[in-house]
Amino acid sequence: MEPTEKATFNLSPVDLGKMDVLVAQGFYANRTDFVRGAVRRQLELHEDHLARFVDAHSSVVGIASITRRELEELVQAGKRRRYTVVGLAIIAQDVDADLAGAAIEDLRVYGVLKAPGDVRERLGNRITGAG
């Protein structure tokens, strides 16, 4: 089972009630099952657009793990990298702020970013979209 993240959102009492009726009638196991199904249907509806976005932005879809070794190799080559991740971006715990600052030009995350606090702070406005 893939990792999940908690999302909080507001619904009108009428929409929530309608959802509860469908759950009570056995269409869905619970509210979470209903919401997951609705989200998946919307993502399927927009699948072509998402695919074009990923192709145009050289994105990683899923889990991107940014390692110390990868960043050290960039710095040694005198390069910096732009990352675009749709899903989960993980900057390894052994990456320090100086290394991240030297190697990461831009980090755009549509989803979740897990990174050491000093790395987040150092990258500052180079990180966009991270929830």
- What are the tens digits of pLDDT across the range 1-23? 677 888 899 999 999 999 999 99
Query: What are the beta bridge partners of residue 91?
Result: 66
Alpha carbons 100 and 90: distance in angstroms, whole number: 12
pLDDT digits (tens, 9 = 90+) for 22-65: 999 999 999 999 999 999 999 999 999 988 887 777 688 899 99
* 26 Cβ neighbours under 8 A, 6+ residues apart: none
The pTM score is: 0.73
For the chain, the structural domain boundaries read 13-45, 49-130
Tens of pLDDT, residues 68-125:
999 999 999 999 999 999 999 999 999 999 999 999 999 999 999 999 999 999 999 9
